[in-house]
Each structure stands twice: as structure tokens, then as C-alpha cells.
Amino acid sequence: MKKYKVVIDTNVIVSALRSRNGFSFKLLSIIDDERFKVFISVPVILEYEDAIKRDKTNIKLKKADVDYILNFICFTAEQRKIFYLWRPFLKDPKDDMFLELAVESECDYIITFNKRDFEGIESFGIKAIAPKEFLKVIGEKYE
């Protein structure tokens, strides 16, 4: 069985922490699953933390809970160092860090709700995919 390599966009992490309903929460709840490997970098983790801890995200978790979740992501994911930059490649310069990580990690997918923001990444052999689509790819049952 193929073990997929993925990078998760910030919007999926934020969505998962806003509500226990939905595909992003399901994905986050199985982040340590053996069917796929999540890759992170220091800039990506800092982006997650910044986005989660902003007041306007409406995430109703205690700071300690957020820190625990971020630490768990760091523990289960494989950290990579990025030594090269292609910036700018994507429309939104903040998304380039996810592409750089995905290319360096030889990922199959970037999991995101904003697939249009990642147009052109197919040239790197990477596909932008929504959480629901990825859960289907790995054969995860969801309701």
C-alpha cells in the first residue's frame, strides 16, 4: 500500500480547530495514521500558530490546548529544512512556503480548501486536494 506524502494548508488546520464537524477535523484526528505522512517546516508551523492564535479565527480552545495540538503536529509530522526558494510562484506569496515544502518533501498532495490558489503545482508532480477528497483517496470512511 502506498504511503502518501502531504502538506496541510493553514486553512485546513484552522477549520479543524473551529469545529469537530467536517472533513478537516476528521483529517486532523487521524494525522498520525500510517496511510500518509505529513511534512512540516518551521515557517509552516509558525504560520499555523499565527493563524490559530489570531482573535478573528473564532477558535474556542484554551492556549494550552492549542499549544498541545501544535506540539502533536510537530511530533507526528516530519520536519524538513528548506534551502531554496522559487518565490514568487503562486498568486498568494504566503502559499509559496507550502509549495516549497511539498517539492522538497516530494509530496503527492497539498491538502487545502483553496485549490485555485495552487494552480500550476502539477508541474512539480503535486496535486492540490480538499480534505474530503484526500480522505477518499486513503479509503477513510466518513459520515
For the cut 80, the answer to whether the pLDDT of residue 1 exceeds it is no
Cα dist. 64→24, 53, 71, 88 in Å?
Answer: 21, 11, 10, 35
Instruction: Note the pLDDT of residue 106.
Output: 96
For the chain, domains (ranges, CATH) are 4-137 (3.40.50.1010)
pLDDT confidence tier of residue 92, bands split at 50, 70 and 90: confident
Cα(99)–Cα(89) distance, integer angstroms? 9
pLDDT confidence tier of residue 61, bands split at 50, 70 and 90: confident
120 residue type, one letter: G
Lowest mean pLDDT across 16-25, 64-73, 80-89: 80-89
Lowest mean pLDDT across 16-30, 66-80, 87-101, 116-130: 87-101
Least Cα distance to 44 among 15, 69, 80, 19 occurs for 80
For the cut 90, the answer to whether the pLDDT of residue 8 exceeds it is yes
104 residue type, one letter: E
Q: How far is CA 110 from the centre of its chain?
A: 7
7 beta partners: 110
Half-sphere exposure of 2 (CA within 13 A, CB side): 8
Q: What is the pTM of this model?
A: 0.93
Instruction: Note the pLDDT of residue 142.
Output: 66
**Rounded mean pLDDT, 16-39:** 95
**Rounded mean pLDDT, 44-65:** 87
